[in-house]
Amino acid sequence: MSTRAGFVALIGEPNAGKSTLLNRMVGAKVSIVTHKVQTTRARIRGVAMEGESQIVFVDTPGLFQPRRRLDRAMVAAAWGGAADADVVVLMVEAHRGVTPGVERILEGLADIGKGRTVALAINKIDRVEAPVLLGLTEKLNEAYDFAETFMISAEKGHGVDTLRGWLAGQVPESPWLYPEDQIADLPMRMIAAEMTREKLTLRLHQELPYQLTVETENWEERKDGSAKIDQVIYVSRDGHKGILLGHKGETIKAVSQASRAELTEFLGRKVHLFLQVKVREKWQEDAERYSEMGLNFKDGNA
């Protein structure tokens, strides 16, 4: 039996459920999931096995109207991920329907979709009635010639197995690209940083989560099998540091505990996590930070 392997890009607006779908497909948490938009920055690849097929998922940042350099780099990364993939899956939220953002993505697909298979996945189907779903399916398929349409709930798992099975047959015949037991090609340092950033995003409000970045500065394997991880949270203003630390250090302590617990579960061993907060005023204009997030600094140019 011949093996198959290929790249599948998940695209859509922020909060369409791309990270949730990726994590369910892969069966492990490789992409951060929060209620806030624009939380996925780098093109995180998760690897799923289905029969003799290896499906490598590219979880792209949500496509939106960019305002800042970081926004522009994220949108460029999203379209770049789609252009590099064998199969593209557009995710649309059932209850939001064809928004102006979805219309812009459909326009972009007219170019990116040439020569590749593009499927539609209508997500969060439990939020609407059947007639609404039917109408949305017809409208989207009139706007673009999708190879296949799937009705799913990434959160609850409905329709996800069907989609994964279909994707397994769409990726090209090829030797596997990764070892069978590897779920992501991101270094563990980056996954650890993403987990801490998720906890910060959940804990903080408004704009601040987009003004910070997390870096794993040091990773030490200890003789007892545990790992000591030192991370730095960079903020762009001095005032942000106080918000991040919280009253008597309560905020940073809660974030540290939550991140440590998840890292311990993810790695299956004890983790000693140490967080520091530093001010780096113009980190969003620092090319090195972008490359660490898997983004291209030049793509952020207006």
Mind listing the pLDDT tens digit for each residue in 171-212?
Answer: 999 998 877 766 655 667 777 888 898 888 888 765 455 567
C-alpha 260/C-alpha 186 separation (Å) is 19
- Residues 59-111 have pLDDT tens digits of 665 555 555 665 566 556 655 655 678 898 999 999 999 998 889 888 888 87
For residues 270 and 190, the model is more confident at 270
Instruction: Tell me: pLDDT of 296 over 60.
Output: no
- Read off the pLDDT of residues 124-151 as tens digits, 9 standing for 90 and up: 999 999 999 999 999 999 999 999 999 9
Which candidate, 282, 112, 134, places its Cα nearest to that of 213? 282
| pLDDT score of 4 more than 60 | yes
CA distances from 297 to 9, 20, 38, 76 (A): 21, 27, 17, 10
How many Å apart are CA 42 and CA 73, to the nearest integer?
Answer: 10
**DSSP-assigned beta bridge partners for residue 274:** 230
d(CA 300, CA 289): 12
In Å, how far are 11, 13, 94, 155 from 17, measured between CA atoms?
10, 9, 11, 8
Residue reference for tokens 């190879």? 147
208: left (phi over 0), alpha (psi -120 to 50) or beta: alpha
Q: Compute the radius of gyration of the chain from its Cα atoms.
A: 20
Greater confidence, 46 or 77?
46
Of 183, 189, 8, 179, nearest to 82 by C-alpha is: 8
Domains of the chain with bracketed CATH: 4-170 (3.40.50.300), 188-300 (3.30.300.20)
pTM of the predicted protein model: 0.62
Distance between CA 106 and CA 139 in Å, rounded? 12
Query: What pLDDT is recorded for position 240?
Result: 80
Q: Is the pLDDT of residue 3 over 90?
A: yes
